[in-house]
Amino acid sequence: MKKRFYVYMIYVIVMFLVSCLFTGEIKAQSQEMLEKQLQTAKEKYDFTNWEAETGMVIPGLNISQAILPQLEGMSKTWQKDNISIETIQGTTYSKYRQWWTADDRQLQVTMVVCPTFTAAKEYLISYYANTQMAPLVPKPTGSESGLNIGNVCYAAPVEQSGGFSNIDFIRHNVIIMMRAEGNARKELAAAAGTLDGLLLNKEAKGDYSGLREIPTVTRFSCKKAAIKQGETVLLELEVNNPTQGELRYFWNMSGGGVKKNLKGNFVYYGGEPGTHTITVTVVNDLGLHHSRSLEIEVVK
């Protein structure tokens, strides 16, 4: 019996090692493929000749019917906007995705607020590398399509019916990606021009931290530095919200979780024993965000 057990254990260990090697090889191949796609996209889109750093950053837009006349008569497909925080190679972006529909048209707008113009360019070219099918066929530039929009602009004209199926542009550090269906295609260029004009009128700063509209986490703490596994503790959170607009909260932690109690306050519940880092990121309706972290010790 012991001999069979040892043979079985050796088999399990060998299979585990083979699995690790195989998984590592797949990850390496996947990373190599992504790097090739990115390089191809940079060559096809002439990335090295995209405009140099503008040296200015601006807030994003609270996109609604109030600022975009083309949305009149359309309703939101989602009750709430699809908002996410993305961290790519150490750079943090806030991404707003909105979708409006009517019987004869659809319009989707994605806004990505980046810390710099350079970061915005890297994000857009990575998006093209990861979403377009091979062989990659780049969209015409805005100037080739008769558009004078953004610092960088690419568009997809619809030759049969006129208009555009999509327009992507960068103004300073803000990316706007627009998609249209039906009659909205004929209105897309005007809508993109409206949004770019509003971005141009924003007060620009030399760096992201200088934007006065940024919501700031002024206090993030808890009353206990150590809690038991499964115990909850109140998180003390205060935010300065200059625009008085809606705020969204995103949580990231190495263990445990965060939820709201009956009073509507955030509480942390301990997971596995150890020292856990909790990070809160608060985002406003202009796509501006701020983060703060704390550590909590969880014991048995």
pLDDT at 212: 95
Final residue of a structural domain among 185, 208, 231: 208
Instruction: Indicate whether 232 and 193 sit together in one domain.
Output: no
145 in the same domain as 55: yes
Q: Look at residues 158, 179, 208 and tell me which one is the last residue of a structural domain.
A: 208
Strands 248-253 and 226-228, by their bridges, are: unpaired
Q: pLDDT per residue over 45-94, tens digit each?
A: 999 999 988 889 999 999 998 999 999 999 998 777 789 999 888 899 99
DSSP character string of the chain:
-HHHHHHHHHHHHHHHHHHHHHHHHHHHHHHHHHHHHHHHHHHHTTGGGSPPP---B------STTT-GGGTT-EESSSS-EEEEEEETTEEEEEEEEEEEETTEEEEEEEEE-SSHHHHHHHHHHHHHHHSPSSP-PPPBTTTTT---SSEEEEEE-TTT-SEEEEEEEETTEEEEEEEEETHHHHHHHHHHHHHHHHHTSPPBSSGGG-TT--EEEEEEES-SEEETT-EEEEEEEEE-TT----EEEEEESSSEEEE-TTS-EEEE--SSEEEEEEEEEE-TTS-EEEEEEEEEEE-
Q: How far is CA 83 from the centre of its chain?
A: 7
pLDDT score recorded for residue 135:
78
Whether residues 133 and 199 fall in one domain: yes
Give the pLDDT score at 132. 74
Q: What is the pTM of this model?
A: 0.85
**Residues 154, 282: one domain?**
no
| 186 and 261 inside one domain | no
Question: What pLDDT sits at residue 16?
Answer: 58
Find the domain containing 261 and state its range.
212-299
In terms of Cα–Cα distance, which of 94, 93, 96, 68 is closest to 80? 96
Question: 254 and 266 share a domain?
Answer: yes
Instruction: Looking at the structure, tell me whether residues 56 and 191 fall in a common domain.
Output: yes
> Is the predicted pLDDT of residue 148 greater than 90, yes or no?
yes
182 shares its domain with 222: no
The CATH number that applies at residue 282 is 2.60.40.1080
Furthest CA-CA distance within the chain: 80
pLDDT of 224 > 60? The answer is yes
Q: Would you state the pLDDT for residue 15?
A: 62
CB atoms within 10 A of CB 156: 16
Residue 41 has pLDDT above 90, yes or no: yes
The answer to the question of residue 22 being in a domain is no
User: Residue 150: is it exposed, middle or buried by C-beta count within 10 angstroms (0-12/13-18/19+)?
Assistant: buried
Q: Which of the listed residues 208, 227, 256 is the one where a domain comes to its end?
A: 208
Residue 163's identity, in one-letter code, is: G
Is residue 138, in this structure, part of any structural domain at all?
Answer: yes
Residue 33 lies in a domain: no
Same structural domain for residues 193 and 228? no
Tell me how many domains the chain contains.
2
Compute the mean pLDDT over every residue in the chain, rounded to the nearest whole number.
89
20, part of any domain: no
Task: State residue 159 phi and psi, 5-degree precision.
Answer: -70, -40
In a domain, 4, yes or no: no
Instruction: Say yes or no: 126 and 200 in one domain.
Output: yes
Task: With respect to residue 280, please indicate whether it lies within any of the assigned structural domains.
Answer: yes
Residue 11 in domain: no
Residue 95 lies in a domain: yes
Rounded Cα gap, residues 62 and 132, in angstroms: 28
Whether residue 110 is found in the same domain as residue 232 = no
pLDDT interval class at 225 (50, 70, 90): confident
Helix axes of 117-131 and 2-44: crossing angle, nearest 10 degrees: 110
> Are 67 and 199 in a shared domain?
yes
